Chain A
Amino acid sequence: EAGVAQSPRYKIIEKRQSVAFWCNPISGHATLYWYQQILGQGPKLLIQFQNNGVVDDSQLPKDRFSAERLKGVDSTLKIQPAKLEDSAVYLCASSLADISTDTQYFGPGTRLTVL
């Protein structure tokens, strides 16, 4: 079974530039998550999708971050414009369903450096 795919793996941009990350979840997984992991911290949920609908985006900085999951499969996360404090690893995860006992499977992440 293929895992969660993410691209790019690394990205370096200057502040005020835009950047986009892509995620392809495990086939058949209805729930998709984007997390931000700042160095030395645990992952923090940014947004959760159930199929192509948003379940939770309460911690997404909506003035600069946006995400979509068209057709309920792939997802993109965009930052526009980027700030220095956005430097982090952006993790995508997926699970079969939105229940508390379900395991989330994580992709390798995209490491973003904002200069």
Chain B
Amino acid sequence: GNSVTQMEGPVTLSEEAFLTINCTYTATGYPSLFWYVQYPGEGLQLLLKATKADDKGSNKGFEATYRKETTSFHLEKGSVQVSDSAVYFCALTPYTGNQFYFGTGTSLTVIP
């Protein structure tokens, strides 16, 4: 079946620290992979995506590389800001359609 396993939180970092949020997946074939972000009081927003192996998605300083050999899509940012405080969700859609399978979310708090 299809599923996403995400690093458990909460994660607390100081401003300008390096961020990694781990995400691994199980899927048949070649899924598309996504990171969504949910800021306090707001809806889910697409952060980045990658649709084939070795693709790198990037946005707002965040990056994630689609690694088929390790079935991973880890989210990274070199220097986090207070404004990055949010809940981050890893998700996949199977190659057969676009039903989303979400991870449980990782809460990130960045302190000044």
Spell out A's residues near B (CB within 8 Å).
Answer: 4, 31, 33, 35, 40-45, 48, 55-56, 91, 93, 95, 97-109
Q: How far is the CA of A93 from the CA of B46 in the complex (A)?
A: 12
Q: Are B102 and A42 in contact (CB under 8 A)?
A: yes
A93 surroundings in chain B (CB, below 8 A)? 44, 100
Residue of B32, B46, B100, B105 most packed against chain A (CB within 10 A):
B100
Q: Are B102 and A100 in contact (CB under 8 A)?
A: no
Nearest chain B residue, comparing its CB with the CB of A106: B44
In the complex, which of the residues B6, B94, B100, B105 contacts A104, with contact meaning CB atoms closer than 8 Å? B100
We find that the number of chain B residues with CB closer than 8 angstroms to chain A is 27
For the residues of A in contact with B, the DSSP-based class is loop
Q: How far is the CA of A99 from the CA of B95 in the complex (A)?
A: 8
Q: Are A45 and B98 in contact (CB under 8 A)?
A: no
Nearest chain B residue, comparing its CB with the CB of A41: B104
In the complex, which of the residues B42, B51, B99 contacts A101, with contact meaning CB atoms closer than 8 Å? B51
Measured CB to CB, the closest approach of chain A to B59, in angstroms, equals 12
Q: Are A100 and B49 in contact (CB under 8 A)?
A: no
Q: A42-B103, A93-B100, A104-B98 are in contact. List 9 more A-B contacts (CB 8 A).
A: A41-B104, A43-B44, A43-B89, A45-B100, A97-B98, A100-B95, A101-B98, A106-B43, A106-B44
Q: Are B43 and A43 in contact (CB under 8 A)?
A: no
B91 surroundings in chain A (CB, below 8 A)? 42
Query: Per-residue 0/1 for B39-52: is the Cβ within 8 Å of any A Cβ (1 yes, 0 no)?
Result: 00011111001010
Q: Contacts A100-B32, A103-B46, A108-B43 hold; do A42 and B98 have CB atoms under 8 A apart?
A: no
